[in-house]
Chain A
Amino acid sequence: MNTTVAAERSRSQPLRLAALLKGERLTTLNLFATFILICLIFASQSDFFLTLDNFLNVGRTLGVVGIVSIGMTMVLISGGVDLSVGSVAALSGVVTSILWLQADVPLGLATVIGLGACVLVGFINGFFVAVMRINPLITTLASFSIVRGLAFVLSSGQTNQLSNPAFQFLGRGDVVGIPASLLLMIALFAAAFVVMHFTQFGRNLYAIGGSAEASRLAGIAVRRHLLIVYTLSGLLSGLAGIVIASQLASSAPRAAVGLEFTVIAAVVLGGTSLSGGKGTLIGTLVGVFILRVLDNGLVQTRVSSFYQDVVSGSVLLLAVGFDQIRQKLAAAVKDRS
C-alpha cells in the first residue's frame, strides 16, 4: 500500500508541470500578453494609437467579426465548422432591403424576416451535418456558395439603399459614447459565456466535440445539439449582416466576402481547437481584439495595406505554432511520468 501511495505522489510532480503547461488559462494568458505587446509596439510608433478616439474606432470594427465568432466558437467546439457565415451575413442584408424597398414590408419586420432566412440556412446546415451526417466542411462549403449566389440572384447584383435613422443606429449609433454594435457584441458574448460555461448545453457541446460517439452513448441528444449550434451560427451571422448593412446604410450581395476566414482565424487564435472539444469564448474575444487592433495599428503606423493580410496571417501562424509546441512539451512531460 505504502509503495503505491509513494508512487502516486512522486508521479504527480511531472503531472502538475504538464497540467500547468497544458492549461487553457495559460493559452488565454499568453494571448492577452500578445495583445498587450502588440498594443505597446503600436503605441510607441503612433501618437494617435492610444487615444480614446482610436479606441472607439477599433470598437466600431469589432462588432461584426465578434458576433460571428461567437457562433463559430460554438460550432468549432462541437467538432464542426461553418464556412457559410460570410454568405449568410450578406443574405440578411439583401433580404431585408429587398423586402423593404420592393415589397413595402415595414423595416422592422423586414429585418426579422431577413434574420429568419439566416436561421433557416443555419438550420439546413445543421440538418445536413447532424441528420444526414455529411461532413460539415462540405455542407457549409456548399451553402457558402449557394447562399452567396442567392444573395446575388435576389438583389440582381445591385447594392440597395437602407437609409433609415432607426436602422442605422445599430451600426453607427452610440450609447453613452460606446458604439451600439460593440455593446450588442458584448451582451452576446456575456450570454454565450454563461451558456458555454455554466449550462449543461454548453458542457454537452464540449463533450460532443471531444467524442461524439461517447456523448451519444452517454445519452446526450447529439443531433439536437448540432442542429441548435448551426442554427445559432446562422442567426448570429445574419445579425452581423444587419450590422454591416446598418453601418453602410445599404445592402450589397458582395458584403462580408472572406468573413469566414477572419472569424476562423480569430477563433483559432483564441485557442479553440479545429478538431473540437476545446476552446473558450474569452480566448475568442481576445483573438478578435488582436486581429482588429493589428489592422488598426498597421493603418496608424502607415504600413501599406497590402501588408496587413501578411501580418495577420503571420501572427496566426506564430501564435498557433507556439501553442502547438507548448502542448507537445506538455504531452512529453506527461508521457514520461
Chain B
Amino acid sequence: MTAPLLTMQHIVKSFYGVKVLDDVSIDLFAGETLALLGENGAGKSTLIKILNGDYRRDGGEILIDGQPVNIDAPRDAENLGIRMIYQELHYAPELSVAENLLLGALPRRGGALNWLIDWQQMNRQAHEALALLNVDIAPTTKMRDLSVVEREIIEIVKALSRQARIIVMDEPTAALTPPEVQRLFGIIRGLQARGVGIIYISHRLDEVFEIAGRITVLRDGKHVGTNPRAEVTHQSLVQMMVGRSIEDRAEVRAQSEAITPGAVALEVRGLSKAGAFNTIDLQVRAGEIVGLFGLLGAGHTLLTQAIFGAIKSDSGTILVDGTPARIASPQDGQRAGIGFVPLDRKVNGLVLDMSVRKNITLSNWRVLTRFGAFQRGLEMQHSRNWVDQLGIRMAGGIETHTRYLSGGNQQKVVLARWLEANVRVLLLNEPTWGVDVGARSDIYDQLEALAAQGLAILMVSSDIEEVLSVSHRILTIYKGRLTGEFSQSDATQEKLLHAAAGGQS
C-alpha cells in the first residue's frame, strides 16, 4: 500500500496540565472518508485544530505523503492543502456564487491598470470549478438565495478549487434534511473520486455508516479504535464512544409494555395559519409522548410555536386540560400551562450569559419572589433541586453561565425552566440536535420520567430514529397537514417516511 495522505502520530496536547489529547494517532488515505466520532470533550476538535494549525501540539508528528511537516499556523495548513468546512459558514450573502468562490483572486482586465473585474472570465472560472463536482448552481446566483446545503457545497467547491487535498467537515449535516444530506453525500463521493481525503465529524451514526470507509472513535482524549465500517455496529460504536453499553431503547420499551396515558392534557382543534399549517386536530394525553415527524418546512415547528403563542394562528382552538385557552403570546401559553423548547436552544432557548440558576427561574418567579424581590434561599433551593433531578452537570457549579454547558446540559436547563414553571404540556423542538449520543439517551430517560409523572409531551423531530424510539404515538405532517397517525408498535421507518412525504397511509 502507498503511504497515507495524512498521518498524525502519537499526538499529545495539554492545556494547563490537563491532557486533552493523549497519544492519538490517525491516518487518512487519498480518496477515503474517515469518520471521527466521540462525545463532546473527547478531543475531536482539539485534534482538528492541531491539524489546522490553530493549536500547537505538545508532542507527536504530522506526516503528509509520508513526509514530516510542520504545522504551526493556519497558513501552514493551507499551504499543505488542508481545508476546514465549519458548521457556521462564512460568506458574503449579497455577492454571487462566482464572487464568493473567487473572492481574493478575482480575475481582472483593463490593460495596464488592471482595475476592472473581468465578470465573464470570473463566471467562466466559477462554472468550471462547479463542474468539477457536477454542481448544478448558476455562478450568478446570490449566496443569500441558496439553501444551507448549497452554501456548504459552494464552500467545498471553493476548497477544491484552491487545491485542497484534505477536507475536514465538522458536522456538515447538522442543519440538513434527509434529501439534502444525500445531495451532500453525492458531493463527498465526487471528492473521493478526485482523490481528496475527507475527515468527517458527525454525531449521526446512520450517516457515518453510509459515507465513511473507516471510523475512528476518541474518548476522553484517547484513541479508542479505528475500524473499517463493516467491522462495527451501531451498538459497538456507541459503546466505544460512551465507554459503557447503552441498551436499545425500543427493545426496552417493548418489554416494559404500553403505558396507560391519562386524560387529554392538550387538545388542538382546527388550528390553521395561512402558508404554515391547515386545520390541525390533535390530542396529547397526560403521561404520553407524541412524536411529530415531518420533513423540513412541513409546518411542524410553526405548529408548536403557534400552540405556545410565539406566533399567531389564524383560527382554531387550543384546550389545556379540557379548558379552552386564549393564547396570543408566549405569556398566555405559559399561563395556560404550556412550555416550549425552541429549535435553537443557544439563540432562543437560553440567555447564554446568565447563570444556570437564573435561567432555570426565568419563567417562574411568582413563587420565588416576595413583594417583587427574589427570595434568594428559595430560588437556590428550587434550582438546585432541578439540577439534581435532571442531572445537569456543569464544571463551575450552579452559577456557571449556560454558555459553557454542553448541548445536552443546556437542553436540560431549558427543560428545568419549564418544570419549575410547573407546566402541564411540554412542546419540544428537536430536543437532541447537536447533543452527544450518551447525553441523548440521558435526555430520553428524563423525558420518559417526566411523562411518567403525568406531563404531556409533544416532540417535533426530524430524526426518525429518535421519533421511533422515544414516542408512544407518532403523527406525521406534510405541507401543513397531518397525514398519518401510528402507534409505537406499528410505526416503521418506511411508513413514517412515506406519510411524511405526502403518501397516503
Contact = CB atoms under 8 A, between A and B. Distances in A.
A219 B348 contact: no
Given A199-B372, A199-B373, A207-B358, A215 B351 contact: yes
Contacts of B373: 194, 198-199
B365 interface: yes
A15 B404 contact: yes
Contact of B334 (A194, A219, A336): A219
B393 A218 contact: no
Contacts of A206: 351, 354, 358
B356 to A, nearest CB: 13
Given A199-B372, A206-B354, A277-B353, A218 B363 contact: yes
Contacts of A203: 358, 362, 365, 374
A3 B243 contact: yes
A16 B400 CA distance: 10
Nearest to A278: B353
Size range of the interface on A? 35 or more
Interface string A16-31: 1101000000000000
Interface in B340-359: 340, 342, 347-354, 358
B220 A214 contact: no
A215 B347 CA distance: 10
B15 interface: yes
Given A3-B220, A219-B330, A19 B351 contact: no
A158 interface: no
A221 B358 CA distance: 17
A19 B362 contact: no
A200 to B, nearest CB: 4
Contact of B374 (A11, A198, A333): A198
Contact of B348 (A7, A8, A11, A213): A213
A201 interface: yes
28 contacts: A3-B243, A7-B220, A8-B393, A8-B395, A14-B15, A14-B18, A16-B396, A203-B358, A210-B354, A211-B352, A213-B348, A214-B349, A214-B350, A215-B362, A216-B330, A217-B340, A217-B349, A218-B417, A219-B333, A219-B421, A220-B362, A221-B331, A278-B353, A334-B404, A336-B15, A337-B15, A337-B16, A337-B18
Q: Which 5 A-B pairs have the closest CB atoms?
A: A219-B334, A210-B351, A336-B15, A200-B365, A12-B395
Interface of B: 15-18, 20, 41, 220, 243, 308, 310, 329-331, 333-335, 340, 342, 347-354, 358, 362-363, 365, 369, 372-374, 393, 395-396, 400, 404, 417, 421
Given A3-B220, A200-B372, A219-B421, 6 more contacts: A11-B395, A12-B396, A14-B18, A198-B374, A204-B362, A277-B354
